[in-house]
Amino acid sequence: MDLAQLWDALIWPLAKLTLFISLGLLIGQMIEALNWTRTVAAAVSPLLRLGRLSGTAGASFSLAFFSGVSANSMLAEAYDQGRISRRELIMSNLFNSLPTYFLHLPSVFLILVPLIGAAAGVYLALNVTAALLRTLFVLLFSRVVLPPPAERCVSCRLEENSPVTFLDALKKAKQRFKDRIGRILSVIVPIYVLFFLLNSWGAFTAAERFVADHLDWLSWLPPQAVGVIVLQMVAEFSAGAAAAGALLAAGSLTQKEVVLALLIGNILSSPMRAVRHQFPYYAGIFKPGLAAKLIFWNQCLRGLSLTFMGALYYLLA
C-alpha cells in the first residue's frame, strides 16, 4: 500500500474522526460550563420524568439529533464526575438510539426511494416504529431499574443556575477538554489502527462471509431475496438496495419480499459494522470494556425490535 492509499484509507479518516470527536467534546463541555444542561433537556422533560433520567440524559438526547459524539461525550463526562451512575449511563445511551437513527434517516431515505420506490416507505416505517418501540421500552425499563431522582439542595440549584460569562465558560471548557482529549486519543488511535489492519487483512470480510454462508434457515425466502441479504452483508447497504430494486423492477421479487430481505440483511450486518465503525470511537469516549457493553446492548435491542416488526409485517402484510 503506497502513501496515497494509506492517506485515503487510514490517515484522513482518522484525522476526520479526531476532529469530530474534538468538536463534539468541546461542544459538550461548553454546554456543561454554561449551565445549559437543564435548558437543552427541557424539551424532553416528560420523557425524562417517565424514565427517571437526569437533565444530563435529556441534554445528551437532544444533542444526539445533531452529533452522536457530543451526546456520548456529555454522558461520559457526567459519569466520570459521578453525576450519573453506570446504570443511568447505559440507559441514557440506549435512550439516544432514537435521535441517532433520525440523524441518519435522510441519507437512507435518499438512497432507498430511487431504488425501490414505495417499498422504501414501508421499510422506513418499520424501522421508525422499531426505534420508537426501543425508546418506549428503555424508558419503562429505566423507570424500574433507576431510583427516583433525589431532591437537591436549594444552594446547589442556585449555584448550578447562576449566570456564567461566555469567557469563563470557555476557559473552564478548555481546561476540561485538555484533560480529556489526550486520554481519548491515546485509546482511539491504536484501536483505530488495529481495526484498520484487521480490515486490511480481511478479518471482517471473512466473518461476514462466514455468516452469509450459513443462511440455510432462510429457505422460506426466494433465492433472489437471500442473494440481496448476502450482498448487503458482504458489500454494503446500498449494494443490497440496488440489487433489491433491480429484482423488484423485473418482477422477480414482490414488495413484501424486498422489505423482508432488507430488514433481515440490516439485522445481520449491523453488529459487525458496529464493531468495525463504532467501537474505535466509543472506546475513546468510554473505557473499552464499557464501550463494548454499550454496543452489545444497543445491537441486541435494535435486533430484537427489528425482528419483532419484521415478524409482524410478515404475518399481517
Q: So what's the pLDDT on residue 150?
A: 65
Burial of 194 (0-12, 13-18, 19+ CB in 10 A): exposed
Q: So what's the pLDDT on residue 156?
A: 40
Q: So what's the pLDDT on residue 86?
A: 94
pLDDT tens digits along 145-197: 999 876 544 334 434 455 566 677 777 777 777 767 777 777 777 877 877 78
Identify whether the C-beta of residue 260 lies closer than 8 Å to the C-beta of residue 295: no
pLDDT tens digits along 218-257: 777 888 888 888 877 776 777 788 888 888 888 888 999 9
Quote the CA–CA distance of 203 and 235 in Å, as a whole number: 14
C-alpha cell at 70: 457530543
Q: So what's the pLDDT on residue 43?
A: 74
Identify whether the C-beta of residue 111 lies closer than 8 Å to the C-beta of residue 241: yes
74 vs 138, more confident: 138
2 vs 238, more confident: 238
The residues, any chain, with a CB within 8 Å of residue 81's CB and separated by 6 or more, are: none
Q: So what's the pLDDT on residue 280?
A: 84
The mean pLDDT of the chain is 82
How many other C-beta atoms can be found within 10 angstroms of the C-beta atom of residue 122? 18
Percentage, residues of the chain above pLDDT 70: 88
pLDDT tens digits along 8-44: 777 877 787 777 777 777 777 777 677 666 666 677 8
Q: What is the mean pLDDT of residues 96-121?
A: 87
Where is average pLDDT lowest: 6-20, 74-88, 205-219, 250-264?
Answer: 205-219
150 vs 209, more confident: 209
Q: What is the mean pLDDT of residues 311-317?
A: 91
